[in-house]
Amino acid sequence: MLSLQKIIITHFKNYEISSFSFDKSVVGICGLNGKGKTNLLDAIYYCCFTKSYFPGSDALNIHFNQEGFRIESSFLLNDKPHQIVVINRVNSKKEFYLNQSPYEKLSHHIGLLPAVIVAPDDIDIINGSSEGRRKYMDTMMSQLDIDYLQSLILYNKILIQRNSLLKNLAVNKIIDNGLLDVLDSQLVIPARIIFNKRKVFLEKLIPLIVEFYNKIAENDENLIPYYESKLAKNNYEELLSINRQKDMALQRTSDGIHRDDLLFELNHQVFKNIASQGQKKSLLFAMKLAEYEMIKSSKGFPPMLLLDDVFEKLDDNRIINLLDWVCNKNTGQVFITDTHKERLVNTFNRLNADGQIIEL
Ligand SMILES: Nc1ncnc2c1ncn2[C@@H]1O[C@H](COP(=O)(O)OP(=O)(O)OP(=O)(O)O)[C@@H](O)[C@H]1O
Ligand SMILES: [Mg+2]
């Protein structure tokens, strides 16, 4: 079992110094626009993932005109206290402590305190480019499989080296196949590991997404998710050598697991081209709940669930369906933000959930 009991936020985004204690498993956070609801969820997310959910540099997370931020939080994991301290000062390396001990590598923390977040712009995972869908897969799988995360870190490192070599060669008009051969043979190793792990993982995830989708949408639309990867039908080493001329011209690596995608068909057409707003939202929630379920079954306890502005996204019935599943059929801790306190209180009452309300 995992729960957050307390968090003290200092100079993080709009917070100067604030302390919050949580004593229930369902926590409603309310406040007007700009009050810091999303930022509070992000501070929690930070403690789980060693970084913000939102893109951009850490400097943006420091309260205007301050020297740095600090987040201190107390979690209970299987009845044992886990204290996290994050210190991020301008121009110095981020410090991250678990029970007073610094981590040698931040990646070692990933997966200890699992969490799933649903944020307002997450609909981009469906509408946007493949990058968001890879991030979805990577965030989930990294929490469950340390080898996956380490392979991904290695792959990205070699990919950067390969791309900068391609650029260098083009700028200086040199052809150095030797060095490219070395990088290619290095890149193939983590690429194969990642491809195989994604394939196996998605075989379990995809049926869950379909099941949740049909439940949320309350119908039997024919949703077909599938994994797309060039590595499925090609030997990656051969592919790299076939692509070499093209890659040199483009000055980047055109194929690899950094181009993989998780695609969706609805009634045999491309989902994002034909789905309605509501169908897209249903799919987003289905993906997030499938993620929740995968983590829960793998870890043996549910991850924390951070729901930002879900009321703006779904109609009343869907909200009740969703929250009923989240609050009553699960034992995990849930944080839900809303601008309307009334709506939170009413929803908790309708669900018979023993919730705590925090007003910002
Ligand atoms: N580095 C920073 N320093 C100071 N304030 C910041 C910083 N970064 C963001 N903010 C402020 O945080 C506020 C936004 O907070 P947040 O997004 O958490 O609000 P919210 O309660 O979720 O609002 P909404 O209901 O609109 O989603 C904005 O006023 C923004 O200017
Ligand atoms: Mg917000």
Res 118: pLDDT: 93
Distance in Å, CA 299 to ligand 1 centroid: 33
Tokens found for residue 317 = 């019935």
Question: What confidence tens digit (pLDDT) does each residue in 218-242 have?
Answer: 777 899 999 999 999 999 999 999 9
- DSSP 8-state symbol, 117: E
Distance in Å, CA 4 to ligand 1 centroid: 22
- In the predicted model, what is the mean pLDDT of the chain? 93
**pLDDT of 101 over the 80 cut:** yes
CATH homologous superfamily of 123-302 equals RecF/RecN/SMC, N-terminal domain (1.20.1050.90)
Calculate what percentage of the chain has a pLDDT beyond 70: 100
Task: Give the DSSP letter string of 132-149.
Answer: HHHHHHHHHHHHH-HHHH
**pLDDT of 81 over the 80 cut:** yes
Domain with CATH 3.40.50.300 in the chain: 1-114+304-360
Best residue among 35, 69, 338 to mutate for probing ligand 1's pocket (most ligand atoms within 8 Å of CB) is: 35
Across residues 3-23, what is the average pLDDT?
97
**pLDDT of 183 over the 80 cut:** yes
Phi, psi of 25 (to 5 degrees): -90, -10
Tokens found for residue 78 = 């299987």
Res 237: pLDDT: 94
Predicted confidence band of residue 9 (pLDDT cuts 50, 70, 90): very high
Domain with CATH 1.20.1050.90 in the chain: 123-302
3-state SS of 28-73 is: EEECCCCCCHHHHHHHHHHHHHCCCCCCCCHHHHECCCCCEEEEEE
Tokens found for residue 271 = 């989902």
Best residue among 7, 10, 14, 337 to mutate for probing ligand 1's pocket (most ligand atoms within 8 Å of CB) is: 14
The CATH number corresponding to 1-114+304-360 among 3.40.50.300, 3.40.50.2300, 3.30.70.80, 3.40.50.720 equals 3.40.50.300
Res 330: pLDDT: 76
Across residues 63-69, what is the average pLDDT?
96
**Global pTM?**
0.93
Q: State the residue for tokens 């193939």.
A: 188
**pLDDT of 248 over the 80 cut:** yes
Predicted confidence band of residue 87 (pLDDT cuts 50, 70, 90): very high
Predicted confidence band of residue 324 (pLDDT cuts 50, 70, 90): confident
Nearest Cα residue to atom 26 of ligand 1: 33
**pLDDT of 70 over the 80 cut:** yes
**pLDDT of 319 over the 90 cut:** no
Across residues 264-292, what is the average pLDDT?
92
Of ligand 1's listed atoms, the one at least distance from the Cα of 64 is 3
